[in-house]
């Protein structure tokens, strides 16, 4: 076989494509050079020192949450759920009010809600899809715990999320419930 040999193979019935050995070699080198370029880029980024989390947060104008501050607990009857808080002013303000016990009413068969004793900082956005276990603020003072996933056009300020929402539907049910939020 010569270097300029031509290979013909069928792509679809009735259509033939000619491919030269030069073209096959070029296509192989192009793929190899792309892979090596991506590998080199990854190595360059991996070699760069990263800023500590609290320095990055300070640059962004927010204080970093300490590990013990980023988690809280939600207790419904005998069930206890861990919640990881977002690193936002609203979540920090909510955590500052703990412990807190609220009688939460059911709404739409997918959420529990209650008015907080004090308004929190607001940075509302439309999440689109609300996930089971989301803890959010509606307006400035309505705390909402979502126990089903669904799409919504409403705006909320995200406070945190239940780490493992398994059993949340059974614990909250379709009735009003008393929920205790605590830091430990």
The hierarchical CATH code for the domain 71-182 is 2.40.100.20
Strands 111-115 and 157-162: unpaired
Is the preceding omega at residue 170 within 30 degrees of 0, hence cis? no
Closest CA to 106 of 174, 169, 162, 156: 174
* Full pLDDT tens readout for the chain, 184 residues: 444 444 444 444 444 444 444 444 444 544 444 444 444 444 444 444 444 444 343 333 334 444 445 899 999 999 999 999 999 999 999 999 999 999 999 999 999 999 999 999 999 999 999 999 999 999 999 999 999 999 999 999 999 999 999 999 999 999 999 999 999 8
By CB atoms closer than 10 A (0-12, 13-18, 19+), residue 65 is: buried
Residue 40 has phi, psi (to 5 degrees) of -65, -40
For tokens 């996930």, name the residue.
Answer: 131
Please give the model's pTM, rounded to 2 decimal places: 0.63
Distances (CA, A) of 78 to 85, 152, 167, 180: 22, 30, 12, 11
């Amino acid at each position: 076989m010569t270097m300029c040999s031509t290979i013909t193979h069928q792509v679809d019935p009735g259509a033939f494509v000619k491919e030269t050995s030069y073209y096959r070699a070029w296509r192989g080198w192009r793929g190899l050079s792309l892979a090596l370029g991506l590998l080199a880029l990854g190595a360059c980024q991996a070699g760069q020192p990263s800023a500590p989390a609290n320095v990055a947060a300070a640059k962004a104008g927010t204080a970093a949450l300490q590990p013990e501050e980023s988690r809280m607990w939600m207790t419904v009857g005998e069930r206890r759920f861990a919640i990881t808080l977002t690193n936002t002013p609203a979540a920090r303000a909510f955590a500052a009010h703990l412990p807190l016990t609220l009688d939460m009413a059911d709404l739409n068969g997918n959420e529990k809600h209650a008015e907080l004793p004090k308004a929190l900082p607001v940075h509302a956005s439309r999440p689109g899809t609300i996930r089971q276990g989301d803890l959010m603020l509606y307006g400035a003072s309505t705390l909402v715990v979502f126990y089903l996933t669904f799409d919504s056009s409403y705006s909320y300020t995200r406070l945190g999320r239940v780490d493992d929402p398994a059993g949340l539907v059974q614990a909250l049910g379709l009735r009003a419930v008393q929920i205790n939020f605590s830091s430990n």
